[in-house]
Amino acid sequence: MPVGIITGASKGLGRALAEALAGRGWDLVLDARGEGALKEAATAIGRYGTRVVALPGDVTDARHRTALVAASRSLGGLDLLVSNASALGAEPLVRLAGLPLDGLRRALEVNVTAALGLVQEALPLLRASASGTVIAVSSDAAVEAYETWGGYGASKAALDRLAAVLAVEEPGLRVWAVDPGDMATDLYAAAVPEDDAARPAPDTVVPAFLRLLDERPASGRYAAPTLGAGR
């Protein structure tokens, strides 16, 4: 059975992707800070009959990252690492003139430093896999200059750059930075609480991720709405 680690899997996109992968036979290691919601998600995802290990913790904690990879090793290895957990830097988002620098540091720590730390920890297992894959969940804010999305967007742009260089340095792996597009999740509501326009549910974005895993295109940056439209 293939094995995957998905960070931020208690709700939103991470949970929807975990459900879909479990449905396809994947064994999974899942994390989020909130223990109750993570355990509830893992129990629901466990109904597919694959092995699901739920490890509560913060991706910025190096010991937690080590534990995630150790859990994966105990499931037999690691084929897919999804860095999905994310911080906004300010909730709600604010213009750069008022962005707390500690918020920016937190966004960089969660979205960039922790993602690289997990990759570093996971590389030996990923290299040993016949289909070692890293997915960095990005955002269109990494490439578009939206008012108030500057700190978060800068962190996602840095994540994209790490993914691009990792792909060059590790040609035996697939490394995809994936922009999922707007989704109706707690993260979006926290970012822009006054924006109550209808948005796609996270599970509608998952087919684009599955398409990447099925077709295994070259490492690079992909946008889920475009991938979905290609079906």
Ligand X SMILES: NC(=O)c1ccc[n+]([C@@H]2O[C@H](COP(=O)([O-])OP(=O)(O)OC[C@H]3O[C@@H](n4cnc5c(N)ncnc54)[C@H](OP(=O)(O)O)[C@@H]3O)[C@@H](O)[C@H]2O)c1
> Looking at the annotation, which residues are catalytic?
138, 152, 156
Residue type, 120: Q
Closer residue to ligand X in complex, CB, 35/214: 35
Max Cα distance, the chain (Å): 50
Task: Give the Cα separation of 107 and 109 in Å (integer).
Answer: 5
In the list 33, 51, 211, 221, the residue contacting ligand X (rule: CB under 6 A) is 33
Q: What is the footprint of ligand X within residues 101-130 (CB under 6 A)?
A: 110
In whole angstroms, give the CA distance from residue 20 to residue 9: 12
CB 206 within 8 A of CB 178: no
Task: Return the sign of the alpha-carbon dihedral for residues 10, 46, 23, 173.
Answer: positive
Can you say how many angstroms the Cα of residue 99 is from the centroid of all Cα atoms in its chain?
24
User: For residue 158, which amino acid is it?
Assistant: A
Interface with ligand X by CB under 6 A: which range of 12-20, 65-73, 119-127, 213-221?
A: 12-20
**CA neighbours closer than 13 Å in the CB half-sphere of residue 45:** 31
> Which residue is at the shortest CB distance from ligand X?
12
Candidate segments 7-15, 17-25, 66-74, 122-130, binder of ligand X by CB under 6 A = 7-15
The single residue listed with the structure tokens 């929807």 is: 16
From residue 160 to residue 189, what is the string marking binding to ligand X with x (rule CB under 6 A)? --------------------x-xx-xxxx-
Q: Is 84 in the site for ligand X (CB under 6 A)?
A: yes
Q: Give SS3 for 134.
A: strand
Give the binding-site size for ligand X (rule: CB under 6 A).
31
Is 8 or 77 the residue whose CB approaches ligand X more closely?
Answer: 8
Which residues have C-beta within 8 Å of that of residue 194, sequence separation ≥ 6? 92
Q: Which stretch binds ligand X (CB under 6 A): 44-52, 71-79, 81-89, 90-98?
A: 81-89
Determine, following the binding rule CB under 6 A, whether residue 58 of this chain makes contact with ligand X.
yes
Complex with ligand X: residue 84 or 133, whichever CB lies closer: 84
The full length of the chain comes to 231
Contact between 155 and ligand X by CB under 6 A: the answer reads no
User: Where do contacts with ligand X occur on this chain (CB under 6 A)?
Assistant: 7-14, 31-34, 37, 58-60, 84-87, 110, 137, 139, 180, 182-183, 185-188, 202
